[in-house]
Amino acid sequence: MKYTAPLAHMRYLLNDVFEAGKHWAEMPAFAAIDSNTVDAILEEGAKLCSEVIAPLNRSGDEEGAQIHNGIVTTPKGFPDAYRKIAEGGWVGLAGDPAYGGQGLPKMLTVLFEEMLYSANNSFTLYVALTSGAALAIHAHASDELKQTYLPNMYSGKWAGAMCMTEPHAGSDLGIMKTKAEPQADDSYRITGTKIFITGGDHDLTENIVHLVLARLPDAPAGPKGISLFLVPKILVNTDGSLGARNAVTASALEHKMGIKGSSTCVMNFDGAVGYMVGKPHQGLAAMFTMMNYERLSIGIQGIGCGEMSYQNAVRYAKDRLQGRAAHGAANPQGVADPIIHHADIRRLLLTQRAWNEASRAFAVYVGLQLDLANYHPDHDTTVKAAQRVALLTPVAKAFFTDKGFDACVLGQQVLGGHGYIRDNGQEQLVRDARIAQIYEGTNGIQAQDLLKRKVLANGGRWMRDFILEMEQDTLLASPVFASEEDAVLKACSTLRELTLWLVKQDKRDADLCSSAACDYLHIVGHTIYAWLWLKMIATNPADTDRHVLGRFYFGRLLPQIHALDAAVRSGPDLVMDLPVDKF
């Protein structure tokens, strides 16, 4: 499949809708970034993804990652492409310049991440896991560990991996068994087995830095007894050179539905040398620095898949001749009209695009909040932005990936039978996109995190504050879009009233949160998309094409919140009343 980065929309979001330059000027870390730099990054990133990464997508899926005699190899072309990514400084795009990173703002790097995922999901995971591991090391490791590992990770010489899941412990990390035995030299010996480890072993880099959750001998039971350890595949000598092979090996690769070019490993740690990251028994909090990065990144995977699906479906719809348009022949010289002239096909295409463009805008907004939280000099601004990030990360991960998968299925429907066979690449998109709703915390867990920890835990205050921000911003929109403004305000009101209802009901039924969470998250997602669609069309009222897209979202997609609201209010009994033995 051919990929063309949607650069015009990306620039529009950065320069016009969110006025990135104005925000960067307030943050000394980004004050030197100008429009020429941004354009160069977007242009070169788009070229790299379309010309180098995307051509490996189909072949990478067909060959897949392989393991022979304990040696893991990636598909043909992956090592060379990774070398080009590394040489261009793309792995450390947002990394700290003190350790060799590029130090670019997140609201810019999310767009490059989308390009990567659009081009090739499997390949991109190696880059994303390295960036996430580096983030956790930067936030929690000792200066010595940071000096030793970060420069080589940012440069792309070494990769990163996250080792959490065990055969008996998936989302419930409190019951994990991997052990860490302290040594006289302040190192630890790590013993245990981890499964589903993305990029656990491969041939792209000379070393792989594993972040491993394990228990100390005196650890208390449950999640409060977990510590985090850095375990390199190859031990590092005191002078920074590589030494002996550590006792960490890949014993098998998982046989998967999709992302087959990504090496998803069973990893064995047999007394491997490791070094503690952060404090004893606080490893889960440290790992969540990486997890939250990965959750946004995997959300962006959903956007990338949705964008690629739309591009593939549009190309097909413009070429495929079937039937005559209801309003009269659009191709009178041909035997039939392109299917893009049929209203139902347009419904499928417009739904994909409406989701994709709103998702991209939301990703840039979350990226902005991350930049403000980490780099803005004003304390109150950083506190508010950090709350926004905490509130919106589960929404971004779950809603992006739900709508991204749906977009892939809709694209498959546009292609019909040709979307079900291998030749056109659409069925691979459906397979690759599906995992994004599952890993880094299933979307059901994301929804419960949102409702239980980010809404109910503070009496709905964080959500009310965010709703107020959307309402105040909406009231500044152009009067040309009065009906859209009214729709956003009504959606905000629906969300506010439902949030208040859930806060009041929370203490009355233990199953309420779990039964309501997914529908509630989708109401939040749709409301945010409506707000952002208004921003996008009101920023440039002369853009009549985007106004058409916005009207489609408001008329055909936003009304879903009313059915979701009714479902939440129906209560948990409809979910819980059927006895277990009747299932």
Residues taking part in catalysis: 440
CA max distance for the chain: 84
Q: Where do the H-state alpha helices sit in 416-460? A: 426-434, 443-448
Could you write out the DSSP letters of every residue in 114-162? HHHHHH-HHHHHHHHHHHHHHHHHHHHS-HHHHHHHHHHHHTTSEEEEE
Q: Are 103 and 95 in contact (CB under 8 A)?
A: yes
CA–CA gap between residue 565 and residue 163 (Å, rounded):
38
Number of DSSP helices (H) and strands (E) in the chain, helices first? 19, 11
Q: Which residues contact 189 (CB under 8 A, 6 or more apart)?
A: 180, 181, 183, 271, 272, 273, 274
Q: E strand or H helix at 232, and its extent?
A: strand 227-232
CA–CA gap between residue 120 and residue 118 (Å, rounded):
6
3 state DSSP class of 230: strand
Q: Which residues contact 206 (CB under 8 A, 6 or more apart)?
A: 157, 158, 234, 242
The number of residues in the chain equals 583
CA–CA gap between residue 110 and residue 368 (Å, rounded):
10
Q: Are 194 and 210 in contact (CB under 8 A)?
A: no
CA 296 from centre of chain:
4
CA–CA gap between residue 74 and residue 95 (Å, rounded):
25
Residue 424's Cβ-side half-sphere holds a number of Cα atoms within 13 Å equal to 25
Q: Are 550 and 531 in contact (CB under 8 A)?
A: no
CA–CA gap between residue 129 and residue 301 (Å, rounded):
13
Q: Are 518 and 443 in contact (CB under 8 A)?
A: yes
Q: Are 78 and 59 in contact (CB under 8 A)?
A: no
Q: Are 207 and 157 in contact (CB under 8 A)?
A: yes
